[in-house]
Chains A and B, each alone.
Chain A
Amino acid sequence: MQSGTPTYTRNIDQVNAQERVTKLFSRSIKKESKIVALNTVLSMIDLTTLEGKDSQGKVKQLCYKAAHLHDQFSNLPNVAAICVYPPMVPVAKKALNGTGINVASVATAFPSGMTSLDTKLEEVKTVVAAGADEVDMVISRGKFLQGEYDWVSDEIAKVKEACGEAHLKVILESGELVTLDNVRLASDLAMAAGADFIKTSTGKVSPAATPSVVLIMLEAIRDFYKQTGKKIGMKPAGGVSKAKLAVQYLVMVRETLGQDWLSPDLFRFGASSLANDVIMQIVKQSTGVYQSTNYFSID
């Protein structure tokens, strides 16, 4: 990578990585620490809708929800961003005006990335011009698996350039990279090529974010920081729908990267239904009982 070659292997031992995950996930998060964690999780959510049938109405509802998570509880934070398809960016931008909540748009022929580079760059420029604060691109997994690492790297660098001021999140689609060795290599490539965030998945491929993939990406971020001094963010996406799992990921972040990454500036959850489960847990912590899901808006 750009500043000196690392003097150790990037091979990943899958069995031991899983064992580390098990150990981290067995932390017992209770009482005060749980409430703090749940609120932190809420503030890290990229509230997402990425469906072919998305309507302007749905995006507007989602934006309203982003700023009014559960009005019965006054002290809840807002989510970090709304994540939508490119045509919805102007709608979201308008709806979120004045809330401080970012608009993130997927781009580069999400989710497959199967189009020409020119088309991808054009798309990125369009969403940024429309007001997207953050761009979530996908890497070309076909090229990566072919071993065309320079090609993949160049593409990310060009997208980064096209982003201008907007933050770039690079989606590795770990489910298609299959091995942890590949996940590690792709993470290193993406960070060196200019990613501000690295992100596990599109949510359209199974498996999406898995705990061992997230751990390996966090460790890649740690090594990159050690080598370059740059703090790269992390975003697990897809498959994180329960508060408990989200809190377990916070434990993983805390014990891998520490204080600075326990913030929406450097850690996000890409999720659609996570927010409601977290709110439900917060309400339970204060009232002592679980309430019916009917009391939580489904936008």
Chain B
Amino acid sequence: MKTEVKTLDFNTDWEYSPALESTDHIHIQEPTDLFISGEFIPGVRGKYFETINPANEEKIANVAEAEKADVDLAVKAARKAYDNVWSKMKPTERGKYIFRIARLIQERAREFAVIESLDGGKPIRESRDVDVPLSAAHFFYYAGWADKLEYAFPGRDAHPVGVAGQIIPWNFPLLMAAWKIAPALATGNTIVLKPAETTPLTAMKLAEIIQECDLPPGVVNIINGGGNTGQALVEHADVDKIAFTGSTEVGKFIMKTVVGTGKKYTLELGGKAANILFDDAPVDQAVEGIVNGIFFNQGHVCCAGSRLFVQENIAENVISKLKERMETLIVGDPLDKNTDIGAINSKIQLDKIKMYVDIGQKEGGSIFQSPCSLPKMGYWHAPTLFTDVSQSHRIVQEEIFGPVLAIQTFRTVDEVIMKANNTPYGLSGGVWTDKGSKIFSLSKKIRAGVIWANTFNKFDPSAPFGGYKESGLGREGGVEGLMPYVNLV
């Protein structure tokens, strides 16, 4: 059936006026110091780096950079708190502290959301509706486990591991801090956490809350810095466990570093998820799922559905619907409540995305970008998709970590399973079909830690999350998320 193209005009006379979230109520410490032993202190050598707003490249605050000596101070504080207080505390009491943190996040949700969007560039509707509520939910969930570990591990004694060194990425700064801190505290460990260099502010706001909660000094320490700070933490002899979320490259380095040291470790790394759309799927809703799968958080999501597989007989329709849907995405000021796609987190990341888009075109892919106008200042990238690509294209193989979707078609179930698994990664996947049997069959055969059926990018504290193959090892969330933080005897 070939008919002339009927287009819809989304460039309407009626436009939405700016609806900016107010920033009057937020308070950011200037300078933002290290949080060690319950106090905010400058680094030993007094060095600071700037954190900027990626939407306009303006400086937000000076942040203290932790050197090796500061890392040592933080680990010592954590060790002292572990030995003297936290490991000895009654589990019910530990639970109370964690509940208190959860409640304070809820109370100050708006402030957290605004700072998250300022510092990281994600749209306020996501930080408000996803990041912050999920962070509170994680603390609530693990607070509940604190005094019930005997039910999590029946017949065994769960002992804390000791001092946990935790390194988190810039894509979900507060949420990743919650994923790391909550289970570690619940199981009786103490913590040195290092947020990402480009997004330190919500973690430091969390430090303020932890101080307000009267958590015993040294139980949670938060230090900032780049790769060197992280390396010092990973290499520190008195750290018992490393939890890392970030790139596969750094993950491999960490694995090499800690091997033979007796340190426990969990790694949550990259992904290149297959999102699979069958011809019996509810198409309009599936298109929403594709959009949510790849454009959520500007595509800065390790489990993003960056490889779309559409069954051949519906591909033309789906792609045309998808392009039209992309036209209605609002790209712009992260603090505008109507923004769907915010700023790219950093210059480095923007350059990387542009490089891949360039490669995609050079390798012969057909590109489509939503016709949005991008702001002059700041780091921006239009939602992008590629067709006419295959498993041998680099943009299909490598993690781009941006709003770039690669679309392939398939004919049979076996073919799509083979292609879905044809990747070094294995973090997540999605299946869209009206048939329950197909969902169950596929989810067993795709080698990935999370498979979403008729939805994508949904998270819950009770659901374990983690990868196969080069997407990492260990699980976070759920009962399984307690495992990395206990020694069972």
Q: Please report the C-alpha to C-alpha distance between residue A26 and residue B3 in the assembled complex, in whole angstroms.
A: 36
Q: Please report the C-alpha to C-alpha distance between residue A26 and residue B21 in the assembled complex, in whole angstroms.
A: 14
Binary per-residue interface labels of chain A (11-47) against chain B in the complex, 1 for a CB within 8 Å, 0 otherwise = 1110111011000001111111110110010000000
Q: Report if A257 contacts B (CB, 8 A).
A: yes
Q: In the complex, are the beta carbons of B285 and A12 less than 8 A apart?
A: yes
Chain A residues in 8 Å Cβ range of B6: 225-226, 229
Q: Please report the C-alpha to C-alpha distance between residue A201 and residue B9 in the assembled complex, in whole angstroms.
A: 28
Q: Please report the C-alpha to C-alpha distance between residue A7 and residue B315 in the assembled complex, in whole angstroms.
A: 9
Q: Please report the C-alpha to C-alpha distance between residue A29 and residue B12 in the assembled complex, in whole angstroms.
A: 15
What DSSP secondary structure best describes chain B's contact surface? loop
Chain B residues in 8 Å Cβ range of A219: 284
Interface residues on A, range: 35 or more
Q: Report if A260 contacts B (CB, 8 A).
A: yes
Partner of A33, one of B3, B14, B129, B279: B14
Q: In the complex, are the beta carbons of A13 and B9 less than 8 A apart?
A: no
What DSSP secondary structure best describes chain A's contact surface? helix
Nearest residue in B to A34 (C-beta to C-beta)?
B17
Partner of A17, one of B3, B280, B285: B285
Shortest distance from the beta carbon of A269 to any chain B beta carbon, whole Å? 16
Q: Please report the C-alpha to C-alpha distance between residue A32 and residue B19 in the assembled complex, in whole angstroms.
A: 11
Contact of A9 with B10 at beta-carbon distance under 8 Å, contacts A27-B338, A32-B17 already known: no
Chain A residues in 8 Å Cβ range of B286: 13, 16
Q: Please report the C-alpha to C-alpha distance between residue A34 and residue B279 in the assembled complex, in whole angstroms.
A: 40
Partner of A4, one of B1, B10, B281, B455: B1
Q: Report if B13 contacts A (CB, 8 A).
A: yes
Q: Report if B392 contacts A (CB, 8 A).
A: no
Q: In the complex, are the beta carbons of A13 and B15 less than 8 A apart?
A: no
Q: Please report the C-alpha to C-alpha distance between residue A36 and residue B12 in the assembled complex, in whole angstroms.
A: 12
Contact of A260 with B9 at beta-carbon distance under 8 Å, contacts A16-B288, A255-B328 already known: yes
Q: Please report the C-alpha to C-alpha distance between residue A70 and residue B51 in the assembled complex, in whole angstroms.
A: 54
Q: Report if A3 contacts B (CB, 8 A).
A: yes
Q: Report if A227 contacts B (CB, 8 A).
A: yes
Partner of B434, one of A6, A9, A222: A9
Binary per-residue interface labels of chain B (275-298) against chain A in the complex, 1 for a CB within 8 Å, 0 otherwise = 000011111111011000000000
Partner of A20, one of B4, B9, B285: B285
Partner of A8, one of B3, B11, B13, B314: B314
| Count of B interface residues, CB-CB < 8 Å | 39
Partner of A7, one of B15, B314, B454: B314
Q: In the complex, are the beta carbons of B285 and A9 less than 8 A apart?
A: no
Q: In the complex, are the beta carbons of A222 and B14 less than 8 A apart?
A: no
Nearest residue in B to A36 (C-beta to C-beta)?
B14
Q: Report if A258 contacts B (CB, 8 A).
A: yes
Binary per-residue interface labels of chain B (432-463) against chain A in the complex, 1 for a CB within 8 Å, 0 otherwise = 00100000000000000000001100000000
Chain A residues in 8 Å Cβ range of B16: 27-29, 33
Q: Report if A94 contacts B (CB, 8 A).
A: no
Chain B residues in 8 Å Cβ range of A20: 284-285, 288
Q: In the complex, are the beta carbons of A40 and B14 less than 8 A apart?
A: yes
Q: Report if A214 contacts B (CB, 8 A).
A: no
Q: Please report the C-alpha to C-alpha distance between residue A4 and residue B317 in the assembled complex, in whole angstroms.
A: 13
Q: Report if B377 contacts A (CB, 8 A).
A: no
Chain B residues in 8 Å Cβ range of A222: 8
Contact of A262 with B279 at beta-carbon distance under 8 Å, contacts A12-B285, A16-B285, A28-B19 already known: no
Partner of B279, one of A9, A250, A255: A9
Shortest distance from the beta carbon of A265 to any chain B beta carbon, whole Å? 14
Q: Report if B313 contacts A (CB, 8 A).
A: yes
Q: Please report the C-alpha to C-alpha distance between residue A254 and residue B279 in the assembled complex, in whole angstroms.
A: 27
Residue from B14, B289, B316 with most neighbouring chain A CB atoms (10 Å): B14
The residues of A with any CB-CB pair to B shorter than 8 Å are 3-4, 6-9, 11-13, 15-17, 19-20, 26-34, 36-37, 40, 219, 222, 225-227, 229, 250, 254-255, 257-260, 262
Q: List 7 A-B contacts (CB under 8 A).
A: A7-B317, A9-B282, A12-B284, A27-B337, A250-B14, A258-B11, A262-B12
Query: Known contacts A4-B3, A34-B17, A258-B12; can you find 20 more A-B pairs with CB under 8 A?
Result: A6-B317, A8-B318, A11-B280, A11-B281, A13-B286, A13-B454, A15-B454, A16-B288, A16-B454, A27-B16, A29-B17, A30-B17, A36-B14, A37-B14, A227-B3, A229-B6, A250-B14, A258-B11, A259-B8, A262-B12
